[in-house]
Chains A and B, each alone.
Chain A
Amino acid sequence: MFGSMVKSTGGHSAAISPVLRLSSFAIILANSTSLFAQNADNASGNLSQSTIVGLIVLVLAILTYGVLVFGDRLLQVSIKEIALEKGKPAEEIQKKYSLVPPLIPHREKELRKVISIKKGFDVYIKGRAEKKIRELKSASYAVKPIDFPGISPIPKLLVKEGDHVKAGDQLFFDRHRPDIKYVAPVSGEVAQIIRGEKRKVEEVVILADNKLEYRDFGKADPKSLSRKAIVEKLIESGTWPFLVQRPYGIVPNPADEPKMIYISAFNTAPLAPDYDFIMQGQDALFQKGIDVLNQLCAGKVHIGLNAKKTHASVFTGVEGATFHWFEGPHPTGNSGIQIHHIDPIKKDEVVWTIKPLDVLTIGRLFEEGRYNAERVVALAGCEVKEPQYYRTIQGASIENMVKENLLNDHVRYISGDVYTGKKIEANGHIGFSDDLVTVILEGDQYEIFGWLLPSYPRPSVSPTFLSYFFQGEELEVNTNMHGEERPFVVTGLYEQLLPIDTYPLHLFKAILTEDFERMEGLGIYELLEEDVALCEFACPSKSPLQKIMRQGLDMVREG
């Protein structure tokens, strides 16, 4: 025991103890003040008195310190003994019950490279989903062509109202790209084909059977299949549209060779679901999905992880993928931002991205041999009474989720997050790849002098609002525009919110003036609407930036 004490203090004697430093400083101070306060006559007498006092203080300090260190070592040793008996790890408990903090703080050597992103902004909204999962029974499920950017507004339908389909049966295809199939998530009767203006197809609604029938695509081990066979299976089963191509954000061309396939394992949008919670225990299925992706793009599957979080083994235990660690505010969780910091997309390169829950569905396809579209989605928002997670199937109606679960009637339902989600009705359906339903207040009230004296707290990136100085506080939000659309006035704002090495304002102006060279040169290939959504939120001129971005992307794709 004494031996161990010597060992421990041996290391400490290298640095001068702060207690020692303080007491020696106190002595010098005592001496100097006594010196100043002296009369010359009594100099020597008072000097020795204060020195003695100082010495006594010093000795007492050293003794106290010594006792503390001794006691600390005894404590540590006994903790270790008890821990060994009980079979628990000793270090954590030792750290917790230490009397004397370590002199030189023990720094965890950073084993991994963390990319720290400074630009961006986090908005905190009330009504985060609680970590419990409930089963959701929905009568109807829908597939919406609008969920697939680039698809022609009137896809060619293979079913009509009244037809019966199985889960995995094809519903429609884009006549410009007839090889890509879009399938039904459940079996049942095609109840309704909702059309919008100019006969565009808005939704294909299916009334689900009580017991679901699945089309059989055959179980397989992805590692044993060729790339061609994998592509066939994905397309046939209707899971190919899970992949999103950058640039342009469209369904990728199977013949392309992507530079990489990227998965961001965390979502930083407000109220976004926690993938680690949703996917816990599904390690094998996720790994299978990763194996599939690896066959598509050998050895180039990348996963972006949140350095500020301890990820579940479902992500960290993956084999065959390269990990990247990020930390920072939204939009750090966006694939586009992460890709930019790893290996920016150049002209004529393509990157495919996919969301974690979609990888799970692909894994399930190969494991079970069928298109099992079940997933856990989060219901969140400031107007939800009990925000939580629901186990349901893609395209489910939110009717049963929100029935008697709202604090207010006049709300907006959003499939997706508040920045990039799509507005749906109270009996609307969740989008194809969405894993979040947000419900916020509809803000269609006038506010007197609202621009000068806001009558309720609202999220803002501007320090002219008090809420800026209370960041982290959850707010109630509504859909009010808080102003009118104006030309671009403020400059330098988008640069603070978009962590991409470019000039965002000039990119938008290049799109508006149809300047192709400038668009390309300023990085339109690297961006999608979701990356500039935060800029759109913050823009004081209320410019429709996501719409402009989509215009630009379509222009470059077609032009």
Chain B
Amino acid sequence: MKKLLRQFFDNMEPKARKNKYLYTTFQAFHTFLFVPNHVTRNGSHIRDGMDIKRLMVHVVIAMQLALLFGMYNIGHWHYAAYGEYTGLAEGIIPKFLFGFFQLLPVIIVAHAVGLGIEFFFAANRGGEVEEGFLVTGMLIPLIMPPDLPLWMTALATAFAVILAKEAFGGTGQNILNVALASRVFVFFAYPTFISGDTCWITWDTNILHRLFGLGAKVAEYGPESSAVVQGFSGATPLGLAASGLQTGEKTLQGLDAITHQFSWWEMFFGFIPGSVGETSAFLIILGAVLLLVTRIASWRIMLSMFAGAVFVGLVFNFMGLNPFLQIPWYYQLVMGSFFFAMAFMATDPVTAAHTNQGKIVYGFMIGVMGMIIRVLNPAYPEGWMLAILLMNVFAPTFDHIFIQKNIKKRLARG
């Protein structure tokens, strides 16, 4: 098998060299299958077995549990919205398959658009396609609403890759987090598709669902019909906290609204509506542990972000000025996308601060800003996207402070 593949690539190579786009594509697939036979030419004669591809693949692996659960979760909320399989353990397989077929086109579109653009730019630059997009391509489906129109996903990916990444020089040179840039695009360009109570439920079925006979009996009710199950609210805990819950005569606010619908454990394990990857704090934490053990993600960023969020949560609890502020800090952590942002977004090494001390300040400020934006600002339901992008811009400043300190110390010596 290996010999056949090698023969194939060896034969293809001279033909591929004729066109730079063809060659870049050829090289991308070639290096995906084979670690090249290049040996060290100068400097150290031996090199570590770790390379960027391996680094990226481990991040993708860390996301898989959240991804798989997200597929089930999409299915669960789709069925539950129409009153079918309302129990968590009912119909696991149709739910999972529903979510799988819902996500598959998104993953394919995100990868195809993103990689296509990357191939184009890499060929023009005369370099090789870099593996950074393996992670971004997997993150984008995880942070979008599950039934976002595919053309919107494609547009958002294109925007993010071109303006937030390639314009700066590609992998390793971007200032802003690429996946977040795509979400920010959808948020500001098509706000109704990404905010509100109904956007996190998948109402429709797509071709693949119909092909395999999945999906609730939508035909009878019609999508987004008000004849949908009474008392069903597609609101996420964050939405409930922000706008309260109508139960008959009363309007519940803050913690009461949340606990009326969900328990803390449900929120922790992820049985809540939300974007695909963000709901299950538990599975994300498992992924984060993998990243920490393999020393791929920085524990400093994770810990300081956690500390910042908890700190502000406690301050808000102490202030207690409105029901939203009164929500205990441990509820704040499992609502929304805190853990996802902490494990996969904030820890992106290229856009975070580079110095160890800078990382602590960076993470802490993200924790603080994210909570403030979420709780105090009525315009933004969730704060992590903006907090991380803001801190991406500040990260070089934090580094600068510590580097200047080191330089001054050294010059003072001499």
Interface residue from A419, A495, A506, A520 paired with B44 (Cβ < 8 Å): A419
Please give, as numbers and ranges, the residues of chain B lying within 8 Å of A523 by CB-CB distance: 410
The digit string for B104-136, where 1 denotes a CB below 8 A from any CB of A, is 000000000000000000000000101010000
Please give, as numbers and ranges, the residues of chain B lying within 8 Å of A461 by CB-CB distance: 48, 50
Interface residue from B5, B39, B409 paired with A481 (Cβ < 8 Å): B39
Closest residue of A by beta carbon distance from B400: A506
Cross-chain contact B35 with A447 (CB below 8 angstroms): yes
Please give, as numbers and ranges, the residues of chain B lying within 8 Å of A448 by CB-CB distance: 2, 5, 33-35
Cross-chain contact B49 with A462 (CB below 8 angstroms): yes
Interface flag for A442 (CB, 8 Å):
yes
Closest residue of B by beta carbon distance from A458: B49
Residues of B368-414 contacting chain A, CB below 8 A: 399, 402-403, 406-411, 413-414
Interface flag for A94 (CB, 8 Å):
no
The distance from the CB of A493 to the nearest CB of chain B, in whole angstroms, is 8
Number of interface residues of B (CB under 8 A): 59
Interface flag for B11 (CB, 8 Å):
no
Closest residue of B by beta carbon distance from A493: B295
Please give, as numbers and ranges, the residues of chain B lying within 8 Å of A481 by CB-CB distance: 36, 38-40, 47
The digit string for B26-38, where 1 denotes a CB below 8 A from any CB of A, is 0000010111111
Q: Which one of B69-77, B170-178, B204-212 contacts A?
A: B170-178
* Chain A, interface residues (CB within 8 Å), range: 35 or more
Interface flag for B15 (CB, 8 Å):
no
Interface flag for A148 (CB, 8 Å):
no
A447 to B294, CA, bound (A): 23
Cross-chain contact B410 with A521 (CB below 8 angstroms): yes
Residues of B1-28 contacting chain A, CB below 8 A: 2, 5-6
The distance from the CB of B142 to the nearest CB of chain A, in whole angstroms, is 21
A447 to B35, CA, bound (A): 5
Please give, as numbers and ranges, the residues of chain B lying within 8 Å of A418 by CB-CB distance: 44-46
A136 to B286, CA, bound (A): 59
The binding surface of chain A is classed by DSSP as: loop
Q: A423-B45, A488-B172 are in contact. Are A483 and B51 (CB under 8 A)?
A: yes
Cross-chain contact B42 with A479 (CB below 8 angstroms): no
The digit string for A526-539, where 1 denotes a CB below 8 A from any CB of B, is 00010001001111
The digit string for A484-498, where 1 denotes a CB below 8 A from any CB of B, is 101111111001000
Closest residue of B by beta carbon distance from A517: B407
Interface flag for B345 (CB, 8 Å):
no
Please give, as numbers and ranges, the residues of chain B lying within 8 Å of A539 by CB-CB distance: 48
Closest residue of B by beta carbon distance from A526: B410
Q: A460-B50, A464-B294 are in contact. Are A344 and B407 (CB under 8 A)?
A: no
Cross-chain contact B45 with A536 (CB below 8 angstroms): no
Please give, as numbers and ranges, the residues of chain B lying within 8 Å of A444 by CB-CB distance: 37-39
Interface residue from B35, B171, B298, B399 paired with A486 (Cβ < 8 Å): B171
Closest residue of A by beta carbon distance from B407: A521
Cross-chain contact A522 with B46 (CB below 8 angstroms): no
Please give, as numbers and ranges, the residues of chain A lying within 8 Å of B314 by CB-CB distance: none
Please give, as numbers and ranges, the residues of chain B lying within 8 Å of A520 by CB-CB distance: 411
The distance from the CB of A173 to the nearest CB of chain B, in whole angstroms, is 26
The distance from the CB of A524 to the nearest CB of chain B, in whole angstroms, is 10
Cross-chain contact A541 with B52 (CB below 8 angstroms): yes
A418 to B40, CA, bound (A): 11
Closest residue of B by beta carbon distance from A461: B48
Residue among A421, A520, A536, A545 with most chain B CB within 10 A: A536
Residue among B53, B169, B409 with most chain A CB within 10 A: B53
Closest residue of A by beta carbon distance from B40: A479
Please give, as numbers and ranges, the residues of chain A lying within 8 Å of B93 by CB-CB distance: none
23 A-B Cβ contacts within 8 A?
A418-B45, A444-B39, A451-B51, A452-B53, A460-B50, A464-B58, A479-B46, A480-B35, A481-B38, A482-B48, A489-B52, A489-B350, A491-B298, A491-B354, A501-B409, A506-B399, A506-B403, A521-B406, A522-B407, A522-B410, A533-B44, A536-B43, A546-B42
Q: Which 9 residue pairs are nearest across A and B when measured between Cβ atoms?
A: A483-B51, A346-B414, A521-B407, A487-B172, A450-B35, A458-B49, A462-B50, A546-B43, A451-B53
Please give 13 more A-B residue pairs, beta carbons under 8 A apart, in addition to A438-B45, A446-B37: A440-B45, A444-B38, A444-B39, A462-B294, A483-B53, A484-B38, A487-B130, A490-B55, A492-B349, A503-B355, A505-B354, A506-B354, A522-B407
